[in-house]
Structure formats: C-alpha cells, structure tokens
C-alpha cells in the first residue's frame, strides 16, 4: 500500500508522461506538415517512449495494489517556428520531468518507501539520458544552421530511430 501523497504524485507523473507523449506527437505533426519526415519519426518514437514510461508507472501503481487515476490532458503546443525550437521545447519538457522525478524521490525517501525509491531510480537514470540526447540534438542543429544539405543528412539519420523497450 502506498502513502496517499506518494500515490497522488505517482498518478500525476503517470498522467504527465502521457501528456509528454501528446506533446511529442504535436511536434511530429509540425515536422510532418513541414516535410521533415525524419524529424517527425524522431518525435513519434519519442512519444512511444513516453507512453512506455506512463505504462511503467501505471503498472507499478497497480502492482502496489492501488488504482491508477487518469485525468484530462491539456492541449500541447502545436505551433513552432523551427525544428530547433521543437528540440529546445523538448529539452525544457525533459528538464521538467526530471524535476518531477526528483520531487517523487524526495517524497518516497520521506515516507521511507524503499520499493518506490528503487523503482524511481530507473527513471532518474533515464532522465540523464533524455536531457543529454536533447542537448546534443540542439548542439548539432545550431552547428548545422542554414546548411540544408547537412540538415537533410541529419534528418535521414533521425528517420532510422526506433524505440526499443529493452534499451
């Protein structure tokens, strides 16, 4: 049985993970609409990863004998000025998720819920990778600038991305 504050925060995070997937699909739609199919693929695969994270929290809540509570998702941002802006927004989103997992970890530590502490460690490690990935893409896009040939090659690289639950 989970402490109520911890359960409420886990449910909030589960919903936020599904919102993140929603936001990444909005970024994919922007990319597709602007004929950036490779970047669209990147965000579609990123959305799959966020849904996986939401499902992981859902399963944990249920494994602990509690009920996952779904809430309405706010509409994500749908208008962007550039591919770079989508990645900058993605980084901000991942930084927000990291701070949410820090908060969850603090609550779990406060409640001495060692099973949840262990569960959350996976997400904390994952967030290091997520932020680093977005920072790298931002660096690359800034370096590429207006070089359409290099952007084309970079987009082709991202078109090959696939989400693997086992990774």
Q: How far is CA 104 from the centre of its chain?
A: 16
Rounded alpha-carbon distances, angstroms, from residue 45 to 49, 63, 112? 6, 27, 35
Q: How far is CA 6 from the centre of its chain?
A: 21
45 is in an annotated binding site: no
127 is in an annotated binding site: yes
85 is in an annotated binding site: no
137 is in an annotated binding site: no
4 is in an annotated binding site: no
- Which residues, including other chains, have CB under 8 Å from residue 71's CB and lie 6 or more apart? 11, 15
Binding-site residues for Fe cation: 17, 50, 53, 94, 127
Binding-site residues: 17, 50, 53, 94, 127
């Amino acid at each position: 049985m989970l402490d109520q504050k911890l359960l409420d925060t886990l449910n909030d995070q589960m919903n936020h993970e599904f919102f993140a997937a929603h936001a990444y699909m909005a970024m994919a739609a922007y990319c597709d609409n602007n004929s950036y199919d490779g970047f669209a693929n990147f965000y579609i695969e990123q959305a799959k990863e966020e849904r996986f994270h939401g499902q992981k929290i859902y399963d944990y809540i249920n494994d602990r004998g509690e009920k996952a509570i779904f809430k309405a998702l706010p509409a994500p941002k749908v208008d962007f000025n550039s591919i770079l802006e989508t990645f900058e927004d993605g980084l901000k989103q991942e930084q927000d998720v990291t701070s949410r997992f820090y908060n969850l970890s603090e609550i779990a530590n406060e409640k001495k819920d060692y099973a949840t502490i262990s569960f959350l460690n996976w997400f904390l490690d994952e967030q290091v990778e997520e932020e680093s990935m977005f920072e790298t893409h931002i660096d690359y896009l800034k370096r590429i600038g207006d070089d359409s040939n290099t952007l084309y090659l970079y987009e082709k690289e991202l078109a090959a991305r696939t989400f693997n639950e086992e990774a």
